[in-house]
Amino acid sequence: MAKLLMFHGQECPHCRKMMPRVERLEAETGLRVDRREVWHDEANQDLMRGYKDALKPKCGGQLRVPAFLNAETHDAFCGEVEYETLKDWALRQ
């Protein structure tokens, strides 16, 4: 199964909006998204920085959250999107 990661921040409003969509995605598709909070957890920050080459070109040249990443293919996107867009991304992995 594809290893899907979501980097999010506890005080990030876009991330909060995306959480229920991620939960719905998991419930509907059986996929699992590994959620990593970055501002309160330095290990997760380091993990995100480790993927900077994959994330920055898709995230305005920065390490923005929420960020969604396939840890194997490095297919990624950032920001708040509708549920269908999230699902399309997850299913093409």
Q: Is 58 in the site for other proteins (CB under 8 A)?
A: no
Q: Is 53 in the site for other proteins (CB under 8 A)?
A: no
> In 18-39, which positions are buried (b, 16+ CB within 10 angstroms) versus exposed (e)?
beebbeebeeeeebebebbbbe
Number of residues that bind other proteins (CB under 8 A): 21
CA–CA separation, 85 and 81 (whole Å): 6
Q: Is 63 in the site for other proteins (CB under 8 A)?
A: yes
- Interface residues toward other proteins, by CB under 8 A: 7, 9-16, 38-40, 45, 48-49, 52, 60, 62-65
